Amino acid sequence: MEQWLEIWWFAYLVLPVLIFLARILDVSLGTIRILFVARGVQTLAALLGFFEVFIWMLVISSIMKNLDSPFYYVFYAAGFAAGNYVGIAIERHLYIGKVALRIITQSNADELLAFFREEGFGITSFDAEGAKGPVKILYSIIERKDLKNIIGHVKQYNPKAFYSIEDVKKVSEGTFPVSPKRRSAKRGRPSRFFPLRKGK
């Protein structure tokens, strides 16, 4: 490494870029891992933790031994900041886990309720009193991958509705729509593999 540092273009171009990119990768994995831990996704969190430490041991630590100028510190800090941004951006597109959706609207929510039920989503609604009068509160636990579609329908049926989204770590029971793949599998397999539960 000392021989490479004697070459100006490596010391002032290549090495800073390596520090920056390695730090982005390391922090991105760490950011996603923390979010997975908060959601209870144990297997993926452990796997990301392994690669996070592996990169730190093989890349970051070896580079840090040769930092002798504040010039490198700037790229190190910039990589850390960019890694947080990239990690969160990646996590938003993973669509892993479930979220709690709470909708509060002053207008009629019958069409929105019908949409939830037709699509197979579990939905709980009740009347409440808001700051400006009576409101309807809708509460549902949904898959994160379905969130964009549902929010689009909320804006379509109740444009002025207030809604909030919270991560859910664990769900014991609930009503969720059957995916197209599972519906196709059910249609393609003999009925004996999917016995109907008789009512009491």
Backbone angles phi, psi at 123, to 5 degrees: -145, 135
The total number of structural domains in the chain stands at: 2
Q: What gap in Å lies between CA 11 and CA 81, rounded to an integer?
A: 22
Looking at the fold, whether 110 and 172 belong to one and the same domain comes out as yes
Q: What gap in Å lies between CA 122 and CA 4, rounded to an integer?
A: 62
User: What would the mean pLDDT of 114-142 be, rounded to a whole number?
Assistant: 88
Residue 66: helix, strand or coil by DSSP?
Answer: coil
**Which pLDDT band, with edges at 50, 70 and 90, does 10 fall under?**
low
Q: What gap in Å lies between CA 13 and CA 119, rounded to an integer?
A: 55
Query: Among 30-39, 53-62, 122-131, 187-196, which stretch is predicted with the lowest mean pLDDT?
Result: 187-196
Looking at the fold, whether 15 and 85 belong to one and the same domain comes out as yes
Q: For 199, which DSSP code?
A: P
Of 92, 113, 130, which residue sits at a domain end? 92
Q: What is the pLDDT, as a whole number, of residue 199? A: 44
Looking at the fold, whether 11 and 87 belong to one and the same domain comes out as yes
**Length of the chain as a residue count:** 200
Q: What is the pLDDT, as a whole number, of residue 137? A: 92
Q: What is the tally of helices (H) and strands (E) in the chain?
A: 9, 4
In a domain, 67, yes or no: yes
Q: Name the average pLDDT for the chain.
A: 77
In a domain, 19, yes or no: yes
C-alpha dihedral sign at 17, 31, 97, 128? negative
Q: What gap in Å lies between CA 47 and CA 55, rounded to an integer?
A: 13
Looking at the fold, whether 84 and 9 belong to one and the same domain comes out as yes
Give CA 193 to chain center in angstroms.
34
What are the Cα distances from residue 58, in Å, to 47, 52, 61?
17, 10, 6
Q: What gap in Å lies between CA 200 and CA 196, rounded to an integer?
A: 13
Residue 109 lies in domain = 98-177
Q: What is the pLDDT, as a whole number, of residue 3? A: 54
In a domain, 59, yes or no: yes
Structural contact between residues 122 and 138, judged by C-beta atoms closer than 8 angstroms: no
Looking at the fold, whether 47 and 17 belong to one and the same domain comes out as yes
